Amino acid sequence: MSKAGSNTLQRIKHLREQINLHNHNYYVLDQPGIPDAEYDRLFRELQTLEAEHPDLVSADSPTQRVGAKPSTAFRQVKHEVPMLSLGNAFSDEELKAFNKRVCDRISWKDLIEYSAEPKLDGLAVSLLYEKGLLLRAATRGDGNTGEDITDNIKTIATVPLKLLGRNMPSRLEVRGEVFMTRKGFERMNEQAKKAGEKIFANPRNAAAGSLRQLDSRITAKRPLEIYFYGVGILKDFDMPTTHSEMLLLLRSLGLRVNPESRVVKGVQGCLRYYNNIGKKRDNLPYDIDGVVYKVNDLELQQELGFVSRAPRWAIAHKFAAQEETTVLNAVEFQVGRTGALTPVARLKPVNVAGVTVSNATLHNMDEIERKDVRIGDTVIIRRAGDVIPEVVSVVLERRPQRTQKIKLPTQCPVCGSAVISIEDEAVARCSGGLFCSAQRKEAIKHFASRKAMDIDGLGDKLIEQLVDESIIDHVDDLYHLKIGQLAALERMGDKSAENIIGALQKSKTTTLSRFIYALGIREVGEATAQNLASHFENLDELMQADEEKLQTVQDIGPVVAQHVVTFFKQKHNLEIIHRLQQAGINWPSIQKISGDKLPLAGKTYVLTGTLSGMTRDEAKQKLQALGAKVAGSVSKSTTAVIAGENAGSKLEKAESLGIPVLTEADLRKLLQKP
C-alpha cells in the first residue's frame, strides 16, 4: 500500500490525465491548449510528487520519457505479424501496371479506391499496446525479427504511453515511421558541432542512429517524431472496413497519423496526389522519398494477399532520383560470391540527397564502354533511396585532355586466376570458382545464412577467420569442424564452440527448398528455390533436368534455366553436394499425390472474414494441399464459402446464390479429411 494520502493519489492521477491531454493536443492535433509555462508548471508538480512517492510512479506516466540507464544489447523480438516491405514504382507506367494487376486479380471493373500518404524517409517500428498501455516497441529488423527498443520509443513525445479513451482494443500492435524533422536535425547537428561531437549526414541516419542507442537517455535528447500508418494486430474491437477508417481509429486513440493522408480513386487520383505532394515536398517539415498507395478496402486487401515479402495491395511510388556531379578518381574491381567482377568507381566525395557518396557502381564493362566513362572524367551520379549509387553519364564538355580508359583485368584481383568473359553475358567472372577466397567466403556466408541453412552463431567474421586460417575451404568442411578447432579461435571458448557445433548438427535437417537456395545458384532466390523444390520434389530430378524442362517450372525463364543447368554441370559442384549429403544433410521427402486421390479435388472454395485459428493464407494453403481450388470471388461454380468473423459482401453474394456457407469449425473438419 502507498503511504500517500487519497488527495495526493487523486492529484497525481489528475496531473497525468491533464498532461497527457495537453500532449495529445500539442503533438497530435497541433492545437496547444495552454501556454508552455503553464504546461511546465504542471509537469514539474508531477515530477515533484512522484519523487516524493516513488512507489506511485507508473510506466504510463508522462515523466517516464527521460530515458533509462544504458543497456548492453538489444533483445530480439519476433513479430507476431511480419512487417512486410513494399514494392516500388519508379514511373507512371509502373504505377498503372500495379493498378492493372490489382484489378485483374480481383476481377474489378470500377475505379479502385486507394489510401495515399507521403512515404517518410525514416525507420519503421512496431508498437504493442495491451489494455491501452504501451507494452513493447521493436524495429522492423528483417521483417520477422526486430530489436526491442521500448525504452527509446518511450522518449518520443509523440508516442502515447497510454491510449486515449475508455473504449479501446484489448491488444493493438501498430506500425509507424520514426523520423526527424529538418529543423530538428539542423538544430541537433549545430549543437553537436559546438560540443565537438559526431555530425549526422541526414535526418534518416540521425533518426535511425538515435533509435538504436543503447543509452535511452541519449535518445531522449534527440528530436524524434513518429507517424503511425498501419495495424498488425487488433483484438476485441470492431474492425474498420477501410484503411482510411483504420487511420481515423488510430487518431482517436491518440496515435499520430500523417495529416497529408488522403483517399483517392484510380490511377489518375493517385497521380494527382503524387504530383501535389511532389510540389509540396520541399515545404514539408520532413524528408519524403515518394508516396505510398494502399487499397483502401481491407477485405480486398485480404483477397489480394501477398507475394514473397510484399503485399499485392500496396506500392511505393518513388520520386525521381536525385543527381550530382563529381570527379571519377579511380576504378577498382570487386569479386562477388559468384565470381562476378564489378567495377566500382572511387569518386571525389559529394553530397547526394543528404548522403556523402564516395563510391558508385559502374555495373559492368559493357556499361563503361556504352557511357564512355574514363578515369579523370567529371561524371553524374544518381542515388535513389537505399539503392547503391550509380554513375549515370559523363559530362563530356568537362573532360580533361588526359584521361585513362578503364580496362578489364586479365587476372582476378583476389586470387590471380584468369578472368573470363562469356558471350552474350555482360559480366566477366573469375575462373577460380570455389578456390577463389572471395567466392569461398561469400559462398559459405550465403550457405550459413538464416534463409539458407540457418546455422546460428556462424557469423561473417567467424567464417572469414575459418577461411583465412585454412580451417575450411568449402561449405562441406563446416560439418567436419571440431570443438577444439573453434575454441582455439580468437573470441571463442568451449561453450561458444559447443553451441556452433550444435547449430551445425541442427542445420543438417532442413528442407529441399532451403538446400537449393543455400547452394548459391545464380538468380535462384528463395521463391525460385521453393518453386524448383515443389516441381521436381527431389534433388536428383532437378540435377538431371535440361533447360526445356526447367522452363516448365513457375516463374523460371531461359536465363534462370541456363544458370541452373550450368551449375549442375560443374563437377566440383556435384562433388560438394555429394559430400554434404555424406555429412548427413537431409530433408523430408515430398510425397506426390495424384490429383484423383486428393479428397477435395474438383471443389472450389471462397474464404471471407477473419479466422481465429489460422490466417486466410494458411487456410488457403491447406485447402490447396487437399486438391481444392481457392477462388477470390463467389460464382455459381463455388462449392462453398467459408466465413469467419466480420464476413462481408462475399457472404451476402453466397446467400443470394444459394451457395453453402461453412463456419470455421466446418473448415477444420474439412481439413481433417483422409
Segment (H or E) for 326? strand 322-335
Q: How many CA atoms lie within 13 A of 430 on its CB side?
A: 26
**In terms of Cα–Cα distance, which of 565, 588, 638 is closest to 608?**
638
Query: Can you tell me the distance from the alpha carbon of 147 to that of 476, in angstroms, rounded to the nearest whole number?
Result: 32
Cell numbers for 199: 555530425
Matching residue, cell 446464390: 657
CA 583 centroid distance within chain: 34
Judge contact between 154 and 324, C-beta under 8 A. no
CA 451 centroid distance within chain: 14
Judge contact between 125 and 226, C-beta under 8 A. yes
Q: Is 410 helix (H, G, I), strand (E, B) or coil?
A: coil
Judge contact between 316 and 89, C-beta under 8 A. yes
Residue 507 exposed, middle or buried by CB count within 10 Å (0-12, 13-18, 19+): buried
Edge-to-edge, what's the strand order for the sheet holding 629-631? 629-631, 604-608, 640-643, 661-662
Q: How far is CA 117 from CA 67, 122, 243, 293, 359, in A?
A: 31, 14, 11, 7, 33
Number of other residues whose CB lies within 10 A of the CB of residue 20: 19
Residues forming a β-bridge with 325: 380
Query: Can you tell me the distance from the alpha carbon of 165 to that of 600, in angstroms, rounded to the nearest whole number?
Result: 48
Judge contact between 335 and 183, C-beta under 8 A. no
What string of H, E and C letters represents the secondary structure of 104-118? HHHCCCCCCEEEEEE
Judge contact between 114 and 120, C-beta under 8 A. no
Query: Can you tell me the distance from the alpha carbon of 287 to that of 293, in angstroms, rounded to the nearest whole number?
Result: 18
**In terms of Cα–Cα distance, which of 223, 226, 180 is closest to 205?**
180
Give me the sign of the Cα torsion angle 653, 658, 659, 660: positive
Query: Can you tell me the distance from the alpha carbon of 82 to that of 560, in angstroms, rounded to the nearest whole number?
Result: 29
Catalytic-residue membership of 119:
yes
Cell numbers for 577: 553436394
What radius of gyration, in Å, describes the C-alpha atoms of the chain?
29
Matching residue, cell 498507395: 293
**In terms of Cα–Cα distance, which of 122, 121, 128, 123 is closest to 79?**
128
Query: Can you tell me the distance from the alpha carbon of 282 to that of 156, in angstroms, rounded to the nearest whole number?
Result: 25
Q: Which of 13, 119, 193, 371 is catalytic?
A: 119
Residues that are catalytic: 119
